[in-house]
């Protein structure tokens, strides 16, 4: 009799714990973004031009080098920074100078930023400078997009597409 009560008590405790876990698995509800909102993501990896142009080695310099290292051009590995600006509805929401990665500063620059915006029509403009120039931009794209609730809108840069891609 006591053994049966003990088993029944254990079953009751297991059911109570299971019911508690089941109730808490769906409460409180969590949303990554507020209702009636969308996300604009600026996300890409890009390699800028080299900081210095390649120079031609003189005959004397080449003769001093071992035969297997006699490359007539000497090129710096260091890459320049990539400067990016993003406007949403005429307001600049991101402005950044992205440094190259890698120990020698010869790797790609990376950016990942997300912006929560209300649903509806938005004007998007993105600009990038990846050369040594100090003014103006080398790549730019702008357009009007209509975003739905919970939509992810991605701004990417692809060299093979000759610029920015809106997805």
Residues 121 and 79 occupy one common structural domain: yes
Say if residue 27's pLDDT is above 90: no
Query: What pTM value is reported for the model?
Result: 0.74
Q: Are residues 48 and 3 in the same domain?
A: no
Location of structure tokens 């990038």: 128
- Verify that 99 and 154 share a domain, yes or no: yes
What's the whole-number mean pLDDT along residues 89-94? 95
Who's near 156: CB < 8 A, 6+ residues apart?
Answer: 43, 44, 164, 165, 167
- Tens digits of residue pLDDT in 121-132: 999 999 999 887
Q: Are strands 152-158 and 163-166 parallel, antiparallel or unpaired?
A: antiparallel
Buried b (16+ CB within 10 A) or exposed e, 9-40: eeeeeeeeeeeeeeeeeeeeeeeeeeeebbbb
- Position 132 scores a pLDDT of 79
Name the residue among 21, 4, 7, 164 with its Cα closest to residue 87: 164
Give the CATH number of the domain where residue 95 resides: 2.60.40
The model's confidence at residue 153, banded by pLDDT at 50, 70 and 90, is very high
- Domain with 105, as residue range(s), is 32-166
Q: Quick one: 111 and 62 in the same domain? A: yes
Residue 65 has pLDDT above 80, yes or no: yes
Based on the domain organization, do 23 and 1 belong to the same domain?
yes
Give pLDDT, residue 149: 92
Both 93 and 15 in a single domain?
Answer: no
First to last CA, the chain: 68
Q: Could you tell me the pLDDT band of residue 161, with boundaries at 50, 70 and 90?
A: confident
CA distances 31 to 24, 26, 34, 66, 119, Å, are 15, 12, 7, 63, 16
Residue 1 has pLDDT above 80, yes or no: no
Residues 51 and 111 in one domain: yes
Tell me: do 14 and 52 sit in the same domain. Answer: no
User: How many domains, the chain?
Assistant: 2
Mean pLDDT of the chain, nearest integer = 90
Instruction: Give per-residue pLDDT as tens, 138-147.
Output: 999 999 999 9
Biggest CA-to-CA distance, the chain: 103
pLDDT at 32: 83
At residue 11, does pLDDT exceed 80?
yes
45 and 91 assigned to the same domain: yes
């Amino acid at each position: 009799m006591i053994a049966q009560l003990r088993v029944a008590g254990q079953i009751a405790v297991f059911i109570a714990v299971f019911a508690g876990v089941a109730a808490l698995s769906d409460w409180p509800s969590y949303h990554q973004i507020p209702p009636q909102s969308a996300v604009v993501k600026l996300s890409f990896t890009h390699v800028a031009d080299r900081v210095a142009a390649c120079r031609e080695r003189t005959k004397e310099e080449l003769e001093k080098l071992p035969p297997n290292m006699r490359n007539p051009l000497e090129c710096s590995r260091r890459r320049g920074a990539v400067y990016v600006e993003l406007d949403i509805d005429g307001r600049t929401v991101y402005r950044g100078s992205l440094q190259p990665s890698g120990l020698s500063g010869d790797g790609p620059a990376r950016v990942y930023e997300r912006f929560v915006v209300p649903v509806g029509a938005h004007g998007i403009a993105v600009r990038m400078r990846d050369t040594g120039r100090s003014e103006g931009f080398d790549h730019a794209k702008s357009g009007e997009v209509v975003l739905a609730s919970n939509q992810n809108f991605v701004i990417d840069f692809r060299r093979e597409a000759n610029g920015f891609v809106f997805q």
